[in-house]
A and B are shown apart, each in its own frame.
Chain A
């Protein structure tokens, strides 16, 4: 019978990403409920030394697949290796990150294993030995609670920034084993040609703890410097509404909302954003929402924990100034 929980750790250029620790933390809680072991899969090249970190967060065992061809994520290579390992070891549950990588991988893996997949979940529990997952639908306008039927394994991806992170326990260590897999070059059809990193190495919106977003009220691309200044001070990432993106003021990758990024930061500051339903759908799971808008009737105020009615060109620089005084 299928046994145990697996999480698929995520690394980029040899560094573990935060979602990996979130997955181990959640996996630990679920493994304890089930009374089964937690295994982390780590794929990469010269990556073995990172395995101990996963142990500190709660993995009992780390299976390391170390191969040059796994250095950078490709669907072909990762899906082939993980499917082969899953067939050999038969885990009951596989959790991945609902990152770009995890969302790309989950369906492919599910198809290879003939299993069900629940994408982008925000809450997990175990009921009667089965995984139960809660996931936003309609970009968070509703939630669906789902479970699995005759699915071995039960596959799910977890939204970044939502699951609680364990305190690392320095005294814990995981058993580290080398994976045995047969990766044939003929399976590798796609090739990564290049990774273009965004300038400044800023944190992606989906992973950011704090976001300062600007909408049409910003009046033009040149004015985003006042948001950048605030963002730099509080270590935030700058986002935008669709109007600002479609006007060409900000890149598509900055768009927050139903047809942009769905974000869950601790702090979301919306500046000159009216709060259209599609925008709200993308950010209403933020822990604290601040709205700065000169129109007291703007719908964004209905979602905001703190609302400031005023001209953003006065309020934002003043806020930056005041926060600087506090620090």
Chain B
């Protein structure tokens, strides 16, 4: 069973986000770049499926050269090979553009399952997976917290989280799933894993290599245009609730919530 994992590189979740002077982008100096946390679940699930069914795990990323590092991390976790599409014309792509590039890479590969993260923790879109599935003409199951593959490797049964419950969905393969926290506990790259990863194949491609027209991707091909970035509204300084004893504090808080905030 061959799996493909789409990997996005994002700023570490610890990052304080600062908006650049142009008001259009985020300051990227001193950012620690990591594999999107949801993609770690995707990599882990692919590795577990390989352990059970055999086959190969290929990691595909679109982005600048620094993304190589995150692909190497996935290879060190155990993935077999990596493909990076590094092309200036891809910069400024929206979800549609990224999915077009991924589809162009993946369409010629032999695969049964594609795994993406539920969403990138940078732009919080959560769109690339479903666009990619549509472009490839395969079914999608998103926000998956449990995945079972039938013994014959022909169908999957996935549990997806919905408001107030879980939906169990069956799909034939090939299919695309997006990983939600809870799917598994991602492994750490071991030292031998890191050594081995250095020798694993990592192809770098351009948009032209994929036979894509540069006008379909990047800013030119984007249907979504960012007008500006802004910081969140400052919250006004709150008050500390007085009281000598916990009971007094609780009484004062209850009163404030009822009379001032009017929320209970």
Q: State the Cβ distance, B29 to closest chain A Cβ, in Å.
A: 16
Residues of B within 8 A of A112 (CB): 134
With A and B bound together, what is the CA distance between A321 and B247 in angstroms?
9
Query: A264–B26 Cα gap in the complex (Å)?
Result: 24
Asked if A277 lies at the interface with its beta carbon under 8 angstroms from chain B, I say: yes
Nearest B residue to A130 via CB reads B225
With A196-B168, A259-B37, A309-B240 in contact, do A76 and B139 touch (Cβ < 8 Å)? Answer: yes
Contact status B125-A119, CB under 8 Å:
yes
Q: Is the CB of B238 within 8 A of A258?
A: no
Q: Is the CB of B135 within 8 A of A137?
A: no
Chain A 286-327 near chain B by CB (<8 Å), digits 1 or 0: 011110000000000101111111110011001101110110
Residue B133 contacts which of A108, A137, A138, A307 (CB distance < 8 angstroms)?
A108
Q: Would B264 and A301 count as touching, CB distance under 8 A?
A: no
B246 near A314 with CB under 8 A, answer yes
A318 & B247 in contact (Cβ 8 Å cutoff): yes
Interchain CB contact under 8 A, A111 and B228: no
Shortest beta-carbon distance from A320 to chain B in Å = 8
A323→B264 contact, CB < 8 A: yes
Q: Which residues of A contact B125 (CB under 8 A)?
A: 119
Residue B206 at the chain A interface, CB threshold 8 Å: no
Query: CB < 8 Å: which of A192, A206, A289 contacts B167?
Result: A192
**A144 contacts chain B at the CB level, 8 A cutoff:** yes
Contact check, B124 vs A308: say whether CB atoms are below 8 A apart. no
Interface stretch, picked from A33-41, A59-67, A97-105, A166-174, is A97-105
Q: Does B168 contact A100, Cβ atoms closer than 8 Å?
A: no
Contact B160 A305 (CB under 8 A): no
Give Cα A149–Cα B14 distance, bound, in whole angstroms: 33
Does B229 lie within 8 Å of A144, measured CB to CB?
yes
- Closest Cβ of chain B to A291, distance in Å, is 8
For residue A223, CB closer than 8 A to chain B, the reply is: no
A-B pairs with beta carbons under 8 A, tally: 275
| Contact call B249/A192, Cβ cutoff below 8 A | no
The answer to whether the Cβ of B164 comes within 8 Å of any Cβ in the partner chain is yes
If over half of A's interface residues share one DSSP class (helix, strand or loop), that class is named, otherwise mixed; here it is mixed
**B163 and A99 form a contact (CB under 8 A):** yes
CB distance from B46 to the nearest CB of A (A): 19
B250 partner, pick from A139, A151, A319, beta carbons under 8 A: A319
- B151-183 interface code vs A (CB 8 A; 1 in, 0 out): 000000100111111111111100100001110
Residue-by-residue, is A244-283 near B (CB-CB < 8 Å gives 1, otherwise 0)?
Answer: 0000000111010011100000110000000001100100
Q: CB-CB < 8 A to A204: which residues of B?
A: 163-164
Tell me if A193 and B238 are in contact (CB < 8 A): no
Chain A residue contacts of B231, Cβ below 8 A: 142-143
A9 within 8 A of B: no
The docked-state distance in angstroms from the alpha carbon of A108 to that of B255 is 48
Chain A residues within 8 Å of B232, by CB: 136, 140-143, 284-285
Query: Is B235 an interface residue when CB atoms closer than 8 A count as contact?
Result: yes
Nearest CB in chain A to that of B138: its residue? A189
Q: A85 near B: Cβ within 8 Å? A: no
Residue B253 is within 8 A (CB to CB) of chain A in the complex: yes
- B141 interface contact, C-beta 8 A: yes
Residues in chain A near residue B17, CB distance under 8 A: 137-138, 141-142
* Chain B: minimal CB distance from A59 (Å): 23
A residues less than 8 Å from B122 (CB atoms): 137-138
Which B99-140 residues have C-beta < 8 A from chain A?
Answer: 99, 121-131, 133-135, 138-140
Per the 8 Å Cβ criterion, residues 219-264 of B in contact with A are 222-232, 235-236, 238-241, 246-247, 249-251, 253-258, 261, 263-264
Complex interface: chain A residues within 8 A of B123 (CB): 137, 144
Can you name 20 A-B pairs with beta carbons within 8 Å?
Answer: A75-B140, A104-B142, A115-B223, A120-B126, A138-B26, A146-B226, A147-B225, A149-B223, A190-B141, A190-B169, A193-B170, A206-B163, A259-B181, A277-B14, A284-B232, A303-B238, A308-B250, A308-B253, A311-B246, A318-B247
Chain B residues with CB under 8 Å of chain A are: 11, 13-17, 19, 26, 37-38, 94-96, 99, 121-131, 133-135, 138-143, 145, 157, 160-172, 175, 180-182, 222-232, 235-236, 238-241, 246-247, 249-251, 253-258, 261, 263-264
